[in-house]
Structure 1
Amino acid sequence: MDWYLQVIKKYTVFSGRASREEFWYFMLINILISIAVGFVDGFMGWRYASGAGFLGGLYSLFIFLPSLAVSVRRLHDIGRCGWWVLIMLVPLLGWIILLVMMAFPSKPNNEYGPQNNHDETAF
């Protein structure tokens, strides 16, 4: 949960780097929270015809900027420009490419700052 809160604290910080561990733990907790919110929406009958729920919509609005910021910082960690995040706009293929890029190991010190001190061999 610390990884999730660390990303939330850096709500709109697009500079610097995010390790694989920080990115993937944030995404895991984000998915688990989204599933829980979806269950609550369904249980309370707050789902709309589109399938989206009230709480799910609020959570999506809340988490959009932190998700974007941690993705940009993760791209910086592998030595890529943050604008690469826009590749997800390419249907299906863009998401796959971005997913693969997020799994790349960190680059040593680069123009985005020094490498984080997290153990990159854990994954």
Structure 2
Amino acid sequence: MTFFESISTVFRKYADFSGHASRSEYWWFVLFSFITTAILGSLNLTSSEGTLDLGTSLSTAWSLALLLPQLAVTVRRLRDTGRDWTNMFWILVPLAGVIVLVIYLTQPSIPERMTANP
């Protein structure tokens, strides 16, 4: 799956928590999210009173808009590796949880016949 196909697929399945997401679909979308958030966060408008930090507002709004599709594609990716959606709670454990979740998300897909939750 290419970069643009991944973005299109994730936005088409905006709130679809069923099915599976390939590694490329997930990680291309993570890259897209990171790049767009960083670009929006770096925008600044200069006014006569000083600098107005429009970038933070845009970046925050964009991150909130991406929250639901990011959660959905993460659940689909976990399902593709044969894990349940509850593994997302690893993110709540400082540092070690992030490492565990990244390891889960980078593992190869398991064929559907072996998956416990279709």
TM norm structure 2: 0.84
Query: Is residue 92 of structure 2 the alignment partner of residue 89 of structure 1?
Result: yes
CA RMSD of aligned residues (A): 1.4
Q: CA separation in 2, counterparts of 1:79 and 1:7?
A: 20
Gaps of 5+ in 1: 114-123
* Structure with greater contact order relative to length (CA < 8 Å, sep ≥ 6): 1
Tell me which amino acid in the other structure corresponds to 1:7.
V
Q: CA separation in 1, counterparts of 2:91 and 2:110?
A: 22
Query: Is residue 49 of structure 2 the alignment partner of residue 46 of structure 1?
Result: no
Corresponding residue for 1:37? 40
Query: Is residue 32 of structure 2 the alignment partner of residue 12 of structure 1?
Result: no
TM norm structure 1: 0.81
Corresponding residue for 1:119? none
Corresponding residue for 1:117? none
Q: Which has the higher strand share?
A: 2
Q: CA separation in 1, counterparts of 2:62 and 2:117?
A: 30
Matched-pair identity in %: 36
Matches within 5 A, 1:73-88: 73-88=76-91
| Equivalent residues, number | 107
**Runs of at least 4 residues off by over 2 Å:** 110-113
Q: CA separation in 2, counterparts of 1:69 and 1:6?
A: 12
Instruction: Kindly provide the CA deviation profile for residues 73-123 of structure 1, in whole angstroms up to 9, marking residues without a partner as x.
Output: 00000000011111101111111110111110000112444xxxxxxxxxx
Gaps of 5+ in 2: 46-51
Cα distance 1:112–1:19, how it changes in 2: closer, same or farther (>3 A)?
farther
- Note the C-alpha offset of 1:4: 1.2
Partners of 1:11 and 1:66 within 8 A in 2: yes
